[in-house]
Structure 1
């Protein structure tokens, strides 16, 4: 008795691959493409609105003027803060030692200014912050400034 050759009954290679891995993928429908374009446009508009409103908020800038070491436990940092006169800002001021390790740190609140307070209509104010230090400081700088929300 002879057995039948099973290899002759096998499906062609393209059919067997389709059975194993699935058939050809269909492309996106016209509705799907349109929905993707609409979502991309909406996201673009939202991003543009976010950029426009975030840059419209009152910015705050600072400039280090100098520092002095009173003694081994105290340093003074002089700086200028420029902001909208009606805004309240906070600045983080730090003193550092010779290895740039922070030896003194303080967050200072700078309230609203009167337009007559400075030559530029109250935008820029000079500040001096006294920091207590844990060891002698060789530098004093403003680390960062930010506008405080009026709702808080």
Structure 2
């Protein structure tokens, strides 16, 4: 095949020098975009400084209705050395909050602690539980 025919076929099917340069630039641009997205994801997901996890689990409650009190017991799991606060609440039979209290829990060297707190109620309560906990 003559060189002129080969050049014509290359031009026809996009195999010219300008097409190859354009393809290389597109490939390099795609690789750079992928690298930027990957680095951003690593910074966002891995290097953002994980915060300690707080977990509270209800273990029981005791109704002291003649005194309008509910005693709530729970386990608190928090990394040692962190002050924590929890909301303890009492509910009636309609699941309406009839009493609540914010409890400040000082830092400790123990990871898991068992705690009990008494909540005064405005009406007769059926249960008591931990609503939420957070680091202070």
Q: Do these two structures clear the TM 0.5 threshold for a shared fold by scoring above it?
A: yes
TM-score using structure 1 length: 0.61
Alignment of 1:3-152 (within 5 A): 41-42=35-36, 44-53=38-47, 56-71=50-65, 73-114=68-109, 122-148=110-136
The RMSD of aligned alpha carbons is 2.6
In structure 1, runs of 5+ residues without a counterpart are 1-29, 115-121
38-47 or 77-86: which moved more? 38-47
CA change 1:126–1:52 in 2 (3 A) is same
TM-superposed deviation, 1:64? 0.6
Cα shift readout 1:29-54 (whole Å, capped 9, x = no counterpart): x9899778756754553343233356
Runs of 4+ in 1 over 4 A off after TM superposition: 30-41
CA change 1:44–1:126 in 2 (3 A) is same
Task: Count residues with an aligned counterpart.
Answer: 113
* 1:67 counterpart SS class: strand
Distance in structure 2 (CA, Å) of the matches to 1:141 and 1:100: 11
TM-superposed deviation, 1:71? 1.8
* 1:56 counterpart SS class: coil
* 1:113 counterpart SS class: coil
